[in-house]
Each structure stands twice: as C-alpha cells, then as structure tokens.
Amino acid sequence: MSYTVGRGTENAQPDVERPSEKLSLGVAARLSRYLQVLTQARKIGKDTISSQELADYTHVNSTQIRRDLSGFGKFGKRGVGYNVESLVTQIRKILRTSGQHNIAVFGAGHLGIAIANSDIFADHGFRVVAVFDVDAEKVGRRIGPLTVRHNAELRAVIEDEEIVVAVLAVPSQAAQTLADELVDAGVKIIFNYSDALLQVPPEVTVHTSSPAVDLLYALYFYLT
C-alpha cells in the first residue's frame, strides 16, 4: 500500500462527541476492514458478531477492535456482541462513505474486465460507470451493461459522471501518460494495478496494488 495522505494532526476540540474530527490513518484502515467482514457476515445471515469473531477474521486484536468502536459510541451489547446491520451503518457514517461513488476503469484487457465485472466494489457503494481502452479492437465491446470507450473520451466522461476514482489496468509503459491525463481531467484517486511508479501532484492519491509485495511479506513469515 502507498498513500499520499497527511497524518491526522487532530487539534482536539473539547467536544464530547466529535464526529467532525479526522480519523488517524490506522483507525480508518481498520474500520474499512471491519466493514468488509461485516458486509460478508451480513450476506451469510449473521445478526450479531463479537469483537473476538471480528478479530479472528481481520487479525486485529479484539481489544483494539472494541477500543476503535467505543471511541465513537456504545455500539455493542455486553454479553451479546455487536448488531451486524447497525454496525455497518455506524461505520459507514464514520467513514462518510454512505454515498454512492462513480469509478472508471482503464484498460479492457483481462484484468480490466475482471474488475468491471466484480461486485467487490458494488458492495461498498462504488459503481463502475465506464471502461476505457485505446485499442480499436476493444472499443465498442460490451462488458456487462457497459460499452468500452476510447480514452479520447475520458475527459468528457469524467466530468459528466463526476468520477474521482480511476482504476488503472493498463500496461506499465502506458501508466504514467494516462495518469497525467487523469490528473489533468480532475481525478483525485488513482488505483494503479500496473507495476509502474507513478508521479502525481500531492493533491492526488495513488494506491499501487502489489500482490507480489504482499506475497513476499507473507512468504517471509512462512519461511521463518
């Protein structure tokens, strides 16, 4: 993971409830993970979940989970656990991602198609509203409800659909040029699935996804 975000320099105002204070990097990351597990738990019909169960799935210590949550309110019932449904709502409120967000995928190769078809984003309020490619062969093809568009259209679509998130599933050589265009068109978050190192202005966040890096890391703990 790599983010271009500042740390929370929270100038704690003496509010008792302070829903307007910025979360620390760590808390935001953990809350997102709790949300993923809760979303899945809800799918399989779980009504309540304990901090210990959440800990088993997220590998975050159960005390820390209770601590993270209790900072925002008393969401749990002693002896019972947390209501899955209401905890999802609460965390979404805290993360301010209750809304719907539009994203665009670049590259209509295998990876791009897989991402566009995935419902992993949909579960969290993200909607893939456009897929782009530069290959004339691919432009015009249908991917689910979408039609692949040419990159030349990106600026217009990004403006019309109010897209702030772009997912890059293009060859490494094409990544930086595309990133420059996207930044220029007003995209604020770039998810980079190529292994290129992207240079962007400080107001834009680049997230480079590197399964190989995660694997190296997992393997180290297996080997030792």
Binding partner of residue 157 among its own copies, DNA, none, CB cut-off 5 to 8 Å per kind: none
Binding partner of residue 188 among its own copies, DNA, none, CB cut-off 5 to 8 Å per kind: its own copies
Reference 198, options 165, 174, 163; nearest CA is 174
Q: Select 45 or 79, whichever has its Cβ closest to its own copies.
A: 45
Query: What span, in angstroms and rounded, lies between the C-alpha atoms of 27 and 69?
Result: 10
Binding site for DNA (CB under 7 A): 7-8, 10, 24-27, 30, 50-52, 60-64, 66-67, 69-70, 74-82
Q: How far is the CB of 39 from DNA (least distance, A)?
A: 18
Q: Token digits for 181?
A: 């265009």
Considering only 42, 48, 50, 58, the residue that binds its own copies (CB under 8 A) is 58
Side chain identity at residue 100, one-letter code: Q
Residue located via tokens 């566009």: 116
Considering only 35, 87, 104, 168, the residue that binds its own copies (CB under 8 A) is 35
Binding partner of residue 220 among DNA, its own copies, none, CB cut-off 5 to 8 Å per kind: its own copies
Interface with its own copies (CB under 8 A), residue total 67
Q: How far is the CB of 82 from DNA (least distance, A)?
A: 6
**Is 98 a binder of its own copies (CB under 8 A)?**
no
Binding partner of residue 52 among DNA, its own copies, none, CB cut-off 5 to 8 Å per kind: DNA
